[in-house]
Structure 1
Amino acid sequence: MLRHVVLDELQSLAEPVTLDGETAVLLRDSGLVSVSPALNGQWTVLPCGTVGAVQISDLLVEVRPKSKLKLSSLLFLLGYAKDPGFRPVDVAGLEDGELFSALAESLARQVQGALARGVLNGYVNVDEALRTVRGRIRVGDQMSRRPGMLLPLEVSYDDFTVDIAENRLLRSAIRLMLLVPRLTEDVRGRLAHLDSKLDGVQPLRFGAGIPAWTESRLNEHYVPALRLAEIILRNMSAEAGLGRHQVASFVVTMSTVFEDFVTTALSEALASRPGITMPQYPVFLDKDDQLASSARIRMYVDVVHTIYGTPSLIFDAKYKASSWSGAYPNADYYQMLAYCTALELSRAWLVYAGRGTPRQRTIAHSHIRIIEFPIDVSQNPKALVASVQNLADAAMQAFEEDSLAFAGVE
């Protein structure tokens, strides 16, 4: 029988659970939760800053985001952060519930749709040693590898095959999902059938990077499946027969996901405006130019939008909870004050993950204003992207007003 432990991302207390020592170690090593001994052979399991799920044989532990995100919203954040072309339809139809079952069902459905017209073929460049000429002879390789030999020939040619990046992604995600314990026989059977359709496709080797692919008219029916496959391959791991247990995990750090999403979405929202949007913008807080760079006070701003090469807009994304009074940590404001001072700007935008309305704070004895701009990540994907667009528009409008005021224009 499956034991299901559900924790909230911000939870600080939990009832002890009964685990054997090997399961406790595997659970701790997953990076999803902290595991500490309790009384009578039990263990206290608590979140440790990440969200997702770990399944170890008949034990499933889930840590759910603070904002009560639906699985489809979480996957949208993950996908959009890597690819601004990621669309809500790419994760449409995911049901709420146990994470691995929902992922497996969605992957089966998306790949089935992708392969409905048959397996996609494409051209790949092949370097090979053959006894006959095919394509062109690589003279340099022939001379260095086989000096004085006529055969075999080092040749390079284009091969029309199913073993292309798109199919490798799909088959690798399917193979990984098949290692998840306790999937229903129906889903497992559908995934196995889809895997057999991809015969002749080499799965990615363990540790290999995700191959690049480009959306086109030829593969557009593959796109939703490919984007879900990429999310699975980036964030999930599974091992069969590890000791006495089968282990699967899907673990993400929400602070990183939120910051990456805000950076990407802001870059898209400001793309039509003058200037360039730059992530992790480097700046020094001190003016000790005589010192080596390594000895100076270096900072990296999450997002800076420059106009004509001059920093004009500052954004910093924070995925954290406010206190019981609704206030955020003082350190966030100190950090933004340092950014404004170093970049000689009078306004900065502090972007939080949460509900609420924007609020401006004016720093005492200065003209610096820090605007708290909450973004509700539990919104549907369209509204979420619209919220970032509203942030970009508000920031640009404020910058234009500041510029006019500085120039003395009413």
Structure 2
Amino acid sequence: MTVLDVTLREHGPALSVPLDAEAGRALAASGILQSATPDPGREGHWLLRAGSRVGAVRTPNGPVVRITPKTPVSRLFFLFGFSLDPARAWRDSKEGTVDTGAYDDVVPALAHAVERQIDTALRQGVLQGYREVEETALVVRGRLREAEQIRRHFGRTPPVEIGYDAYTADTDENRILRGAVERLLRLPGVPGPVRRRLAHQRMRLADAQPLIRGQELPRWQPSRLNSRYQPALRLAEAVLRGASPEHRPGATEPLSVDGFLIDMNKLFEDFVTVGLREALREHGLTARLQDPHHLDTAGLVGMRPDLVVRTGDGRTPVAVADAKYKVEKADGLLNADLYQALAYATVLGLPEAHLVYAAGRYPERCHEVRGTGAGQDGRGVRLYQHALDLSREPEDLLSGLRELAGKLAAPAAHP
């Protein structure tokens, strides 16, 4: 028998849950969890273990799965807001950029935050703009679409094929906001008061056409006219992308799920790399994210460091860093990460490389690699491991990023 609600902990122990075989296999194929396997000790039960994704989803013919994060929800949404709008986050570090209310679960906090942002965006009225309309009409308005008139009506009138610019609320911006509201209304776990406020926002956006599931999101361009919409639009787009269907391994059709999941690996990587990029500008340096390189001379083995720091002209590499959202092993070392960092330093010709973790028993560790002492000081390549404690206040987190940016910039200041 399938249960209706399952709550798991991010990277927590596996939970034995009563599931029928069909629901268990669908959950295993969805990619939502780290693992979903039949429980050998209990017939009709499956062992479910969450990975680095947090949030909630409703699976077809299966349970509602909620995955709670290790990081406090308020801090998680600070990281989330920072990755969407780093400039504003630097300014408002004390309060953060996403209002999650008093909710301590991902989906309720998200729904509250989106509704509040949309309410702020619509406070001065629904944004309107010109949209090109092509239609069949009984009277001429705008311009006559001659080719369509001949092809469809053989030159007879009326009706006529016309095109014109309409001043309407059916804009790309409003479509995105409406799409996010409708997506949130389908999510499991949205509190009643928030659900009622979301329904009110949907009524305000009723003149915007609904999004078609499976199609690409409309593309909007930041401008002076939509500046009050921009925080809400960034959050709404994140909702729509984070609620996309999961693909079964080896299947062509996606598994249809309604939910919202945040990948903590990607979130931490975005926070660290975007934050360092912004902080390095104060040192006159540029930074490239996911900078493509090759390990071998034949160009067959690709590599993409999370962040490569370069001189102001963008030509000379100064430092390299990788963000790792993982917990240290019992011995405090993550050897595969060190090998990866050494490869980055070697290819870029740098005397050091940096690894940034979301947790660690040491604020910083340095490993000098044997057999690499080719520098003027005779020292080998240094591999630094840094720890960024996500339980710290936002202001302290940003201060930590500035401090780390100073260490990455040091080789440029003292070559």
Output the TM-score relative to the length of structure 1: 0.80
| Pairing 1:249–2:259 present | yes
Cα contact 1:75–1:231 (8 A) shared by 2: no
Asked if 1:285 corresponds to 2:279, the answer is no
Matched residue, 2:301: 297
Q: 1:373 aligns with which of 386, 389, 396?
A: 386
Query: Paired residue for 1:9?
Result: 10
Q: 1:101 aligned to 2:94?
A: no
Alignment-mate amino acid for residue 318 of structure 2: S
| Structure 2 Cα separation of the partners of residues 160 and 369 of structure 1 | 61
Aligned twin of 2:346: 341
- Judged with a 3 Å threshold, the aligned counterparts in structure 2 of structure 1 residues 338 and 161 are, in CA distance, closer, same or farther, namely same
The match for 2:79 is 77
> In 2, distance between residues paired with 1:62 and 1:280?
31
Task: Note closer, same or farther for the CA distance 1:41–1:98 as it changes in structure 2 (3 Å cut).
Answer: same
1:100-249 matches, within 5 Å, as 100-128=107-135, 134-135=141-142, 149=155, 156-181=163-188, 183-237=190-244, 248-249=258-259
The SS at the match of 2:86 is: coil
Instruction: Letter of the 2:326 partner, please give it.
Output: K
Task: Please tell me the residue identity of whatever aligns with 2:55.
Answer: G
Q: Return the alpha-carbon distance in structure 1 between the equivalents of residues 64 and 27 of structure 2.
A: 10
Tell whether the 8 Å contact from 2:275 to 2:401 is kept in structure 1 after alignment: yes
* 1:26 Cα deviation after fit: 4.4
Deviation track 1:184-211 (CA, whole Å, cap 9, x = no partner) reads: 4443333222212222211211122233
Aligned residue in 1 for 2:250: none
Structure 1 or 2: more strand by fraction? 1
Q: TM-score, normalised by structure 2?
A: 0.79
How far, CA to CA, are the matches of 2:398 and 2:236 in structure 1? 22
Q: What secondary structure is seen at the aligned counterpart in 2 of 1:251?
A: strand
Deviation for aligned residue 1:228 = 2.6
**Runs of at least 5 residues in structure 2 that lack an aligned partner in the other structure:** 247-255, 374-379
- Tell me, yes or no, if the aligned pair for 1:86 and 1:227 is still in contact at 8 Å: no
Residues 73 and 376 (structure 1), Cα distance of their counterparts in 2 relative to 1, 3 Å cut: same
Distance 2:162 2:74 in 1: 47
Using the TM superposition, give the Cα deviation of residue 251 of structure 1 relative to its aligned residue in structure 2, in angstroms.
2.0
Identity over aligned residues, as a percent?
A: 38
Q: 1:310 to 1:187 in 2, by over 3 A?
A: closer
Q: 1:179 to 1:93 in 2, by over 3 A?
A: closer
Partner of 1:363: 369
> Structure 1 residue 399 and structure 2 residue 403: aligned?
no
Alignment match, 2:335: 330
Corresponding residue SS for 2:305: strand
Conservation of the 8 A alpha-carbon contact between 1:78 and 1:231: no
Question: How far apart are the structure 2 equivalents of 1:194 and 1:384?
Answer: 34
Could you report, residue by residue, the CA deviation over 1:44-84 in whole angstroms, capped at 9, with x for unpaired residues?
Answer: 1112443322245995433333xx32233333434433543
Alignment of 1:51-66 (within 5 A): 51-55=54-58, 59-65=63-69
Alpha-carbon contact 1:131-1:153 (below 8 Å) kept:
yes
Name structure 1 gaps, 5 residues minimum: 240-245, 404-410
Residue identity matched to 1:117: Q
Per-residue CA distance 1:5-34 (angstroms, 9 max, x = gap): 4333222x3341223344434433442222
CA distance in 1, matches of 2:179, 2:262: 20
The one of 319, 326, 347 equivalent to 2:325 is 319
CA distance in structure 2 between the partners assigned to 1:114 and 1:274 by the alignment = 35
How far apart in 2 are the matches of 1:58 and 1:341?
49
TM-superposed deviation, 1:149 = 3.7
CA distance in 1, matches of 2:189, 2:337: 44
3-state DSSP of counterpart to 2:290: strand
